[in-house]
Structure 1
Amino acid sequence: MTDSRGDWIQTALGRQFWPIDPRADEVFIDDIAHALSMLCRFGGHCLRFYSVAEHSVLLSRAAAPEHKLWALLHDASEAYLVDVPRPLKPFLAGYKEAEDKIMRAVCERFGLDADMPTAVKEFDGRILFDERTQNMATAPVRWSTDAAPIGVTLQYWTPLVARANFLSDFRYLTEDRAA
C-alpha cells in the first residue's frame, strides 16, 4: 500500500521528511542548517567550497533588520530539494511547486510572511555578483543576473563552521523577534 503523502527522505539527524507533502511541524532548523552547510553553491562549479548556509548567513547579515530572518531562511527548501542552479530550475517539472510547498511550511514553522520580501529577492540576485567575482573563473560573457554587488566577503567556511554560524544567527534573530 502506498502512503498518500508519497515517499520520504531521511534527514541527517534521522527524521522523516516528505518533500512533496511537507508539514510545518516536520521542519527543524538543525536539519536545515546541517543540509545547507553541506551543499555547495553553483552546483559545485566554483573555485572553492562555498556552502548555501554561508550564502544565507552573508545575505542575512547584509539585509535590513526587518528582513534578516527571511534572508537567512530564503533557501531553506534546498535543505530538502538540493541547490539547483537558477538556469535549470524552470525546466524541472514540479520543482517550483515542491519548493513553494516547502517554503510555505518553513514560513509557517518560523512565523514568516508567506511571500519573500522584494528586498530579499533583490539582495539574493545582487549577491551573485559578489560570489561570482570572488569564487568563480572569469566569465566568458556577462551574466544575465549581473547587478550591483552587496559588498560581502566570502569566508569559505567549512560545513561545521557554516552550520554553527547559521544556527547562531537563527537563535539570535528568533530570540530578538520573541522579545
Structure 2
Amino acid sequence: MSDYILTYSRIKFYPLEPIKEDIKIEDIAHSLSLMTRANGHSSYFYSVAQHSLQCCFEAESRGYSVRVRLGCLLHDASESYISDLTRPVKRNLPEYFRIEEMLQKVIYGRFGLNDLTEDELKQIENVDDTLLYYEFEAMMNYQIFETAPPKSLNHYDFFQRDFGSVEQEFLTTFNKLMAISSAL
C-alpha cells in the first residue's frame, strides 16, 4: 500500500508529508470541480469548486482584500488531496483536523497566503458559513442556522453546471487573483 495519491497531473502526492512544489492549481481545480458538496446529499450535483467560486465572489462583494478572496477560493483545497468528511464525523476525528490543517497551511503557503491573519481567516470562515446557509436553503429548502447570515451578493450561482466549465472558471479566477496579487 502506498502513502501517496496520484493526482490528475500525474504527480505522486504524499498528503501526510506534502511537498509545496507538488501542489498544482490544475489538480485542485480539477478535483474540486468533480467533488460534490454536502457529501452528495443535495437535490442535484453542485461541486466544491463552484462553492469555492461563490465564496470568492461573496468576499469580493464585501470588499475584502485580494488575499481573502484567494483564501476563499482555496479554503477547501485540502479536500482535493484528502477528501472531506461530514461535520459530525470530522468533529470526532481530531487527527483528521490536524492533517487537514497542516495540509491547508502548505497549500496556502504554496500560493503566498502562509501569513493570513486571524482576522483574515475569520473573514474566510464567515463567508464559508454564509454560503453553507444559502446553499442548503436553495438546494434543500432547509435553513441550516436559525438566523440567516447577512450576505452581500444579491444572487448566487447555485445551478447545476458542467464540471469542465466550473474547473475553467476556477482556474481563470485563480489566475486573475494571482495577477492582481503580484501587481500589488
Which TM-score tier does this pair reach, normalised by the shorter chain?
0.7 to 0.9
1:149 Cα offset (Å): 5.2
- Say which structure is richer in helix: 2
Is 1:148 equivalent to 2:152 in the alignment?
Answer: no
Amino acid at match of 2:17: D
Aligned length: 172
Give the distance between the partners of 1:28 and 1:145, measured in 2 at CA.
39
Give the distance between the partners of 1:177 and 1:105, measured in 2 at CA.
18
TM-score by length of 2: 0.86
Q: 1:178 to 1:13 in 2, by over 3 A?
A: same
Q: 1:40 to 1:145 in 2, by over 3 A?
A: farther
Structure 2, unmatched stretches of 5+, are: none
Equivalence map 1:95-134=2 (5 Å): 95-115=96-116, 117-134=121-138
Is 1:30 equivalent to 2:20 in the alignment?
Answer: no
Give the distance between the partners of 1:37 and 1:31, measured in 2 at CA.
10
Structure 1 equivalent of residue 7 of structure 2: 11
1:114 Cα offset (Å): 4.4
SS in structure 1 at match of 2:76: coil
Q: 1:96 to 1:108 in 2, by over 3 A?
A: same
Given that 2:106 and 2:114 are in contact with CA atoms closer than 8 Å, whether structure 1 keeps it comes out as no
Given that 1:130 and 1:149 are in contact with CA atoms closer than 8 Å, whether structure 2 keeps it comes out as no
- Is 114-123 or 79-88 further displaced after alignment? 114-123
Identity %: 32
SS in structure 2 at match of 1:22: coil
TM-score by length of 1: 0.88
Amino acid at match of 1:8: Y
Structure 2 equivalent of residue 20 of structure 1: 16
Structure 2 equivalent of residue 71 of structure 1: 72
Q: Which of 161, 164, 168 does residue 168 from structure 2 map onto? A: 164
Structure 1, unmatched stretches of 5+, are: none
1:164 Cα offset (Å): 0.4
Amino acid at match of 1:29: I
1:12 Cα offset (Å): 1.9
Amino acid at match of 1:96: F
Q: How much is the aligned-residue C-alpha RMSD, in angstroms? A: 1.9
Equivalence map 1:29-68=2 (5 Å): 29-63=25-59, 64-66=64-66, 67-68=68-69
